[in-house]
Amino acid sequence: MAGSAFWNDQDKAKGVIAELKSLNTVLKPFEDLVRQADNLAATIELAEEAETDEFDDEVRTGCQQVESDFSAFEFRSMLSGPNDHCNAFITIHAGAGGTEACDWAEMLLRMYLMWAESKRFSTQITDREDGGTAGIQEASIHIKGEYAYGYLRGETGVHRLVRISPYDSASRRHTSFASIDVLPEVDDTIDIVLKDDDLKRDVFRSGGPGGQHQNKTESGVRYTHLPTGVAAESRSERSQHKNDINALATLKAKLIRLEEEKREAEFAKKYDDKGEVSFGNQIRSYVLQPYQIVKDLRTGHEVGNPRAVLDGGLDGFIESYLRMKLAKGTSDLSKA
């Protein structure tokens, strides 16, 4: 980077900078841990020489700090996929269950927005289709933050809710389903070439509660990649131009994810395959009645406080999934 010709090829330079940033997220915390360990060893040596308890508090505090920092370092080192550093797109689809499923989809939308807020990530709802009576039929969120995709990629799959229905006058227990798709936002260092001949572009009226302009003009945009059949759309902006940009970015993200899934085919088939959005295909169950528990069926991780999870408390599920992937030898996709 210090060379005089470094910026002659800007595309290559951006790639090197991105690689350096990725390496530094591991190397710098590691160097800090080494320094902390050296300092702690010196403090322990002084304590042993003093043969008093004057260094006890300092040693105890130092051990706690090193343990905390090492845990954070270990967790970050699991985010080693080629796109883990990217921002993320989450798409939520209501599944089997009618109004119940639409309401459940909106609960999941709120959960991910609250999780992102707890991480101080920025969010934007880029697409939303209301469910009619209640909730949403489909919604997409753009989450911007360091390693957002790495954290969230394990959320892809079918999520199942069991509760007493607020829409059932007989107060019966209902089961609802919604699916989650998580995609990386393609950055400038990833070269995605989309030929015009391979793209079909459609415009449509957005509909919904977006205002008179949004309802009466064709501001919504949908792109379809003809060779793969992959489609992406955006309708949340008043401007067709902005929706065009959002839809194209989402399409690129979907194509990147498609390539990832090909590389992860064996693991995905065993652990990540969503299948039909209905009973028997869920990755996680949220049970509110007759008892309360949230359990991930892939990792076995469970929490007895569903309200905390639905308020954005997903870190335990995220970490258990990453540890499972690490144990299976598939977290470092760049070596695949």
Which pLDDT belongs to residue 316?
94
Given a contact cutoff of 8 angstroms between Cβ atoms, the answer to whether 55 and 46 are in contact is yes
HSE at residue 52, side-chain half, CA atoms within 13 A, is 3
Which pLDDT belongs to residue 270?
38
Least Cα distance to 330 among 258, 282, 265, 274 occurs for 265
- pTM assigned to the model: 0.67
133 — phi, psi (to 5°)?
A: -65, -45
> In a structure prediction context, what are the per-residue pLDDT tens digits for the chain, which is 336 residues long?
888 888 888 878 887 887 787 778 778 888 999 999 999 999 888 888 887 888 888 889 999 999 988 888 887 778 877 788 889 999 999 987 788 999 999 999 999 999 999 999 999 998 898 887 889 999 999 999 988 999 999 999 999 999 998 888 788 888 999 999 998 887 555 556 788 889 999 988 766 554 444 455 778 899 999 988 999 888 878 888 888 888 888 888 888 878 777 756 644 443 344 455 555 578 999 999 889 999 999 999 999 999 999 999 999 999 999 988 877 764 444 444
HSE at residue 163, side-chain half, CA atoms within 13 A, is 21
- CATH number attached to the domain at 82-336: 3.30.70.1660
Which pLDDT belongs to residue 68?
87
Q: Where are the domains of the chain?
A: 7-77, 82-336
Which pLDDT belongs to residue 277?
56
- CA–CA separation, 118 and 207 (whole Å): 32
Q: Which two tokens stand for residue 18?
A: 């991105």
Given a contact cutoff of 8 angstroms between Cβ atoms, the answer to whether 264 and 272 are in contact is yes
Is 251 exposed, middle or buried (CB count within 10 Å of its CB: 0-12, 13-18, 19+)?
buried
Concatenate the DSSP letters of all residues of 27-57 into one string: HHHHHHHHHHHHHHHHHHHHHHHHTSSTTHH
Which pLDDT belongs to residue 177?
93
